[in-house]
Structure 1
């Protein structure tokens, strides 16, 4: 059970709200109150609780109506109903409507503690089961990591070795190399696999927003903070927090992250009260942190805390033998969604892919295949279905490999490649090249090509 569990008490009687708040606060819970059902719904919208304790008989919106409204919104928060007019029928009606349990007034303190503890344990187990189901469905173990090159096999081995520890992990690699997939694989193969996996992009938000997102904030701590909010580190309690682009964190946030790793505690923005958390940190960076430390732009003490285990992820250009496997993986992923499905790729198109430099790495390859599948009228991807940048860059690379050539030679090379890719179909080749069939024939005769 999470000691930071947030309990919302709903009762129109001020003394009852005060009594329950005192009892629950002593148990270590974060307690919030509302005087009626409508106010409770507003609070739940702003800040979803882990448990609701609601009186049944209230003006405006009573406890049964509140319960029904929560269920209609697919809110799975457990609800404990309370009433001074205890009866078997009321209890049965409440339980049939989805209440977790039922308490009669006047309260017995031990009963309150027991029922609340059971409800929160039930909520915690439900979250664990849901997380497990999602992981099994998404199969974030090794299935989404594709390749058999020496570089990626080394990454697999590192994942297997570090997953069963609780060490902080640093992933170094260019943009698009799959750092988040690898972080998910570490999490899914660890003892924390039933807990949450929370991803944070350190370079996507301004410092003030990122601090609030990471650490949470208290109500009124800044303009617009109309309600208290859990931070992403707090949400990752008993799980893993993946912090991408850690090199982009400001010096202030670097210091606060260092404290999280050292002390295992956080402070929400606007609060001086420390909060213990149990989180594994997996950090990632496309920049060389060692060089940033030498340049004085990244804290050396934080670097050593993050650099317990480092996994270097090779760029796609250094594992070109994996491109056919990755390509087929993406064809299976996106091709089946199209009608008729796209099931393969022509050898000429695959040749373009394996000779391309891939500055955007796996992400660029995935987008190229997804685009080709969307545009091709065939069941197979052909060279002209690929982005022009890939076609042009490959032709240029081939030309540069044999030295500078004339425009005529470059044109001849391109025309012959298009013809070869389409089984010498003059009409289709002319359409792809954007010229008339007679013009194509004239050029081929000029090149000395038999036709």
Structure 2
């Protein structure tokens, strides 16, 4: 349904346009007060605005300037009398779509409306494609020159056409969630919801009610029936991130759901059937967890009908310069800068180990873009941004797994604190900047301390006022 807004102080003209555009799939709303019409456009962005040039109280040019600044993708067509054509032409140069000179015929109106709505549809599609390409850029699946990555992405494309469960394996920062979204976007369920669940971010007592939902009165405080995250994935995809952190008891309930595609809410008796596809991911060694009895073997086999293993960035050296260039271009656009890397800059990047994988590379490129003025980055910029040699050397005495964990924890903690400082201590704003929820952001800030003590503490710090 296309929504067209008409803002013209002549009520008769608005009514006439409504009659001329009476057709299936089109709704026309008219306003004689430009301020009221502008407020409606802000509250409910239309697909097209037909705007008079000369109006009392607020001119068409003023309405156009405010609306175009806030919603530049909405096409605006000026309705102009003979004497104000020059102003309408100037507005087109500033971004208006077209103009119609009064009086106009129905055929003329239909022609410009059809063109404007087609333009709006095309703009929406372009924005969707930009978003899709930005997501692909996180793992650079579409442009990777690495044979192992290309093989895994081909497996993802083939898996997308089925409803088989997929287990995505890979170190932190390799792009497991982005890969899950890629599978969802290429599946028959792409128009359904994509529901990510961070299994490590919620304590066991909470994640059960969040996943399966609950009936009214199931426990103290359950004042109403609530659907769980599994039910909210109806018709779409449920993505269980860090599935290895799920408790054994909850694994049993999840296995039953995977087998039967039906669940009981907490405190409920009746079965609720849910049609959703299941994808999951982990950076843990599930085979070792099965041996130790902390992960159910039958659940593992049920969730890993198809297994995708994302190679770490250190095994994809041919992709490092390509990814770095992609991120530099993205953040240069975001921060209104013009920054490129020299050949020496990219050579220096290739010497790094990138324990934080693509996520670390992305964060480094954002930091360099944010802190540098326009110009060319050199090898010295990489060296200044790298951890101190002494710090890395001290980790060499540890086993690779422990050293990597401490390095990553230090990086994540430093990153979280830097983002928090940039947001003036506002945790909610910092979490949005980092693209994670508040609980995950708190966990990032605590990671370094937990890694150094060798303890795992799932309790999050008390939230302070902001």
The answer to whether the superposition gives a TM-score over 0.5 is yes
Are residues 1:311 and 2:308 paired? yes
What is the aligned length? 272
Equivalent residue for 2:244? 247
Q: TM-score scaled by structure 1? A: 0.56
Question: What is the Cα-based RMSD across aligned positions, in Å?
Answer: 2.9
Name the SS for the 2:386 alignment partner: helix
Would you identify which runs of 4 or more consecutive aligned residues in structure 1 move more than 6 Å?
A: 71-74, 131-134, 394-397
The separation in 1 between residues aligned to 2:126 and 2:174, in whole angstroms, is: 27
- Structure with greater Cα Rg: 1
Are residues 1:173 and 2:170 paired? yes
Structure 2, unmatched stretches of 5+, are: 1-40, 45-123, 397-466
Equivalent residue for 1:361? 357
The separation in 1 between residues aligned to 2:171 and 2:137, in whole angstroms, is: 21
Name the SS for the 1:336 alignment partner: helix
Alignment of 1:433-448 (within 5 A): none
The separation in 2 between residues aligned to 1:145 and 1:349, in whole angstroms, is: 21
Structure 1, unmatched stretches of 5+, are: 1-70, 75-130, 401-451
Alignment of 1:174-323 (within 5 A): 174-323=171-320
The separation in 1 between residues aligned to 2:226 and 2:43, in whole angstroms, is: 21
Q: TM-score scaled by structure 2? A: 0.54
Q: Give 1:295 deviation, angstroms.
A: 2.0
Name the SS for the 2:192 alignment partner: coil
The separation in 2 between residues aligned to 1:223 and 1:72, in whole angstroms, is: 42
Change (3 A) 1:271 1:72: farther
Q: Deviations over 1:226-270 (max 9, x none)?
A: 332221111111110110100100011101110111000122222
Contact 1:135–1:188 (Cα < 8 Å) also in 2: no
Q: Give 1:385 deviation, angstroms.
A: 3.9
Change (3 A) 1:150 1:393: farther
Contact 2:139–2:174 (Cα < 8 Å) also in 1: no
Are residues 1:350 and 2:346 paired? yes
Contact 2:138–2:358 (Cα < 8 Å) also in 1: no
- Which of 312, 331, 336 pairs up with 1:334? 331
Equivalent residue for 1:139? 132
Equivalent residue for 1:373? 369
Q: Deviations over 1:124-162 (max 9, x none)?
A: xxxxxxx99986552168565412111211111111111
Q: Deviations over 1:101-136 (max 9, x none)?
A: xxxxxxxxxxxxxxxxxxxxxxxxxxxxxx999865
Contact 1:169–1:282 (Cα < 8 Å) also in 2: yes
The separation in 2 between residues aligned to 1:157 and 1:389, in whole angstroms, is: 35
The separation in 1 between residues aligned to 2:265 and 2:43, in whole angstroms, is: 29
Name the SS for the 1:371 alignment partner: helix
Contact 1:162–1:186 (Cα < 8 Å) also in 2: yes
The separation in 1 between residues aligned to 2:349 and 2:42, in whole angstroms, is: 50
Name the SS for the 1:238 alignment partner: coil
Q: Deviations over 1:1-49 (max 9, x none)?
A: xxxxxxxxxxxxxxxxxxxxxxxxxxxxxxxxxxxxxxxxxxxxxxxxx
The separation in 1 between residues aligned to 2:169 and 2:346, in whole angstroms, is: 28
Contact 2:145–2:319 (Cα < 8 Å) also in 1: yes
Q: Give 1:367 deviation, angstroms.
A: 0.5
Contact 1:352–1:391 (Cα < 8 Å) also in 2: no
Q: Give 1:73 deviation, angstroms.
A: 8.6
Contact 2:137–2:323 (Cα < 8 Å) also in 1: no
Contact 2:344–2:379 (Cα < 8 Å) also in 1: yes
